Amino acid sequence: MLACMTVSGEPQVNAKKVGFISLGCPKALVDSERILTQLRAEGYHIAPTYEEADTVIVNTCGFITPAVEESLSAIGEALDATGRVIVTGCLGERPETIRERHPKVAAITGSQDVEGVMSAIHELLPPDQNPFTSLIPGMSGGEVKLTPRHYSYLKIAEGCNHKCAFCIIPKLRGLQASRDAGEVLYEAFRLIASGTRELMVISQDTSAYGIDVRYRESEFQGKQVRAHLLDLAVKLGEMGAWVRMHYVYPYPHVDEIVKLMAQGKILPYLDVPLQHASPEVLRRMRRPGAGRQLDTIRRWREICPDLTIRSTFIVGFPGETEADFQLLLDFLEEARLDRVGAFPYSEVEEADATHFEGRVPEAVKEARLARFMEVAQRISAEKLQEKVGRTLEVIIDEYNDDEGDLSGTRLIGRTKGDAPGIDGQVYLYAGELAGQVKIGDIVSARIEDADEYDLFGEVTALLPWQPNVPQLGALVKH
């Protein structure tokens, strides 16, 4: 369960060892990467097991009740194993919930508080005063990534200005704070230079990027760039990696982003969390950008016919009637979204919706979820059948070395329409390219079959990787 990573550089005798548990969404994962990077820069080693850890940091999630429970049990497990635990992340914003269950926790900090975590670590495990690690910045290696080398999350903003009734993110993470475009672009540049081929742009409300800083300009490679999603997407697209947009709300300027997708500048993929389709439920949920969803989707598809739309929905929100739910199913049939996830509504202690009347019984929620998933699965299968016979670009994530397979003959990857971890996969025979395709390569593949979620086919060619960013490996070689 600990973040399993080895630390590059010479092993230090008696180095302080920190275990790390990272829970929650990709935004929390980025926070974990920042803390781990700082730990490593200060000469701490990351312990892969509890037995080796002097202390453990748990980066928690507090979004919904099951996530809170998972976080509390991870804290308990780490305490039992090591006795010294620092808690950070979303649940850290509610220290009383943690102390009530685990009074022996050594320190608690909120989300994005790298400094707070580091000062707690310094107190528990004072850093070595080794001149080689303390005086030379970054000596023990670069930034720590918890994703594979070929893809990375790029967080462009923190917090959220909305007040969705079921959500406590604005209470936990505060109002939206966008990063300067220059800072984001330099980070993207560094990531691509060191091997990233796919960037996942994330925040709580990606469409609202820059509003809080009035689209402030900042410097990137000698030019001024606005903190605006369109400008950022153009610049990211120019770097030549796959750029995937997550958590995009359907605001009017998203049409311009979809035009970039149609021009092949960024991936034709939109992750749009719609949550429902009944106007009455959306009104009570207080969802941003919730009007005329079908018209918006039709328009996007006219601009970019190859667009993959992913969305998530909540069923059984307080007050949801059978008629509301039927509207949601009708919407699903009409919109024919490519990728869909759904959750039964779950109460969160401090969310406004917890006090709403009209609770939907658990059995009804579960029955609606099953009906929803049946429709979503059928549509997904139909849409994937449309891809059979086509040749698509696929990025390779892993080898599928089942027993009896020769190494490298079977591969698992994703098309431009699939985000890692949440969408489908493509299972490929390497064919004549067996043994030549590496993880992170982009290949073209002939799709021969499909089921409800995944595609199956064969590699036809290995595609050259030529980003507009110099590659660190190449620089070292020549």
Query: Rounded to the nearest 5°, which phi and psi values hold at 365?
Result: -55, -50
Q: Is 167 in the site for ligand SF4 (CB under 6 A)?
A: yes
**Residue 439 CB: number of other CB atoms within 10 A?**
15
Nearer to ligand SF4, 86 or 169 (CB): 169
Q: What is the smallest separation between the CB atom of 92 and ligand SF4, expressed in angstroms?
A: 17
Q: Is 205 in the site for ligand SF4 (CB under 6 A)?
A: yes
34, 102, 162, 190: residue in contact with ligand SF4 (rule CB under 6 A): 162
Q: What is the smallest separation between the CB atom of 227 and ligand SF4, expressed in angstroms?
A: 19
d(CA 396, CA 393): 10
The stretches of 42-64 forming alpha helices (DSSP H) are none
Q: Is 157 in the site for ligand SF4 (CB under 6 A)?
A: no
Token pair for residue 74? 């991870």
Q: What is the smallest separation between the CB atom of 275 and ligand SF4, expressed in angstroms?
A: 8
- Give the CA radius of gyration of the chain: 23
Q: Is 154 in the site for ligand SF4 (CB under 6 A)?
A: no
Q: What is the smallest separation between the CB atom of 173 and ligand SF4, expressed in angstroms?
A: 8
Nearer to ligand SF4, 162 or 383 (CB): 162
d(CA 277, CA 287): 11
Q: Is 170 in the site for ligand SF4 (CB under 6 A)?
A: yes
Q: Which stretch binds ligand SF4 (CB under 6 A): 46-54, 109-117, 167-175, 465-473?
A: 167-175
Token pair for residue 272? 């749009």
Q: Is 86 in the site for ligand SF4 (CB under 6 A)?
A: no
d(CA 195, CA 438): 13
Closest CA relative to residue 250, chosen from 222, 291, 215, 284: 291
| x/- map, 287-326, ligand SF4, by CB under 6 A | -x--------------------------------------
Q: Is 169 in the site for ligand SF4 (CB under 6 A)?
A: yes
Q: Which stretch binds ligand SF4 (CB under 6 A): 141-149, 166-174, 233-241, 253-261?
A: 166-174
449 Cβ contact list (under 8 Å, min separation 6): 388, 455, 456, 457
Q: Is 348 in the site for ligand SF4 (CB under 6 A)?
A: no
Annotated binding residue at 90? yes
For the chain, the residue count is: 478
Q: What is the smallest separation between the CB atom of 262 and ligand SF4, expressed in angstroms?
A: 26
Q: Is 164 in the site for ligand SF4 (CB under 6 A)?
A: yes
Annotated binding residue at 61? yes
Q: Is 204 in the site for ligand SF4 (CB under 6 A)?
A: yes
Annotated binding residue at 25? yes
Q: What is the smallest separation between the CB atom of 160 and ligand SF4, expressed in angstroms?
A: 3
By the 8 A CB rule, do 413 and 428 touch?
yes
Query: Rounded to the nearest 5°, which phi and psi values hold at 470?
Result: -60, 140
Q: Which stretch binds ligand SF4 (CB under 6 A): 156-164, 305-313, 397-405, 465-473?
A: 156-164
Q: What is the smallest separation between the CB atom of 259 and ligand SF4, expressed in angstroms?
A: 24
Binding region for ligand SF4 (CB under 6 A) = 160, 162, 164, 167, 169-170, 204-205, 288
Annotated binding residues for [4Fe-4S] cluster, as ranges?
Answer: 25, 61, 90, 160, 164, 167
Annotated binding residues, as ranges?
Answer: 25, 61, 90, 160, 164, 167
